[in-house]
Amino acid sequence: MMDITEIQEIIPHRFPFLLVDRVTEVTSNQNLIGYKNISISEQVFLGHFPGHPIYPGVLILEGLAQAGGILAFKSMDMTKEEAAQKVVYFMSIDNAKFRSPVKPGDKLEYRLSIIKNKGAIWLLDGKAYVDDKLVAQAELKAMVVDK
């Protein structure tokens, strides 16, 4: 398990763009489960959409990407100091599908698994759930590079 402080030691994102609140499970070179609590107090709901708040699909994909970055870092044999000199760049997001709207009050759970890893390149399967119902999915390709 990783709390927000540990997450911030791994990925550079900060408010308002840090979209992973906690990692509940991580198995190096296999999978990760984490989540974000969706709150009506998030700025995005000021415009998306007034009177009918829906969490944007692109932010669900970004949350999956951030969780995928954590999985990649936790799967590489690096010290914290070495990891601090690296960053994850996403190269592609393929086959993205949005199955159901995500609303304030939802707990958005990210489930990622590694499809393939070759050197600095990671291919990940990402799925997002609310109450065990699939709400979004995508295949994510990323590269870990020097800052």
- The CATH number given to 4-146 is 3.10.129.10
> Would you say residue 80 has pLDDT above 90?
no
In angstroms and rounded to an integer, the radius of gyration of the C-alpha atoms of the chain is 15
Residue 137: the pLDDT is 98
Higher local confidence (pLDDT), 54 or 80: 54
What gap in Å lies between CA 147 and CA 144, rounded to an integer? 9
Q: What is the pTM of this model?
A: 0.96
> Would you say residue 77 has pLDDT above 90?
no
Helices (H), the chain: 4-10, 57-75, 80-83
Domain boundaries, the chain: 4-146
Q: How many CA atoms are closer than 13 Å to the CA of 109, on its beta-carbon side? A: 11
Residue 90 amino acid letter:
F
What pLDDT digit, counting tens, does each position of 99-144 carry?
999 999 999 999 999 999 999 999 999 999 999 999 999 999 999 9
| Tokens coding 121 | 């390149």
Percent pLDDT > 90 in the chain is 93
Residues designated as active site: 48
Residue 46: the pLDDT is 96
What are the E-state strand segments in 73-120?
86-98, 107-118
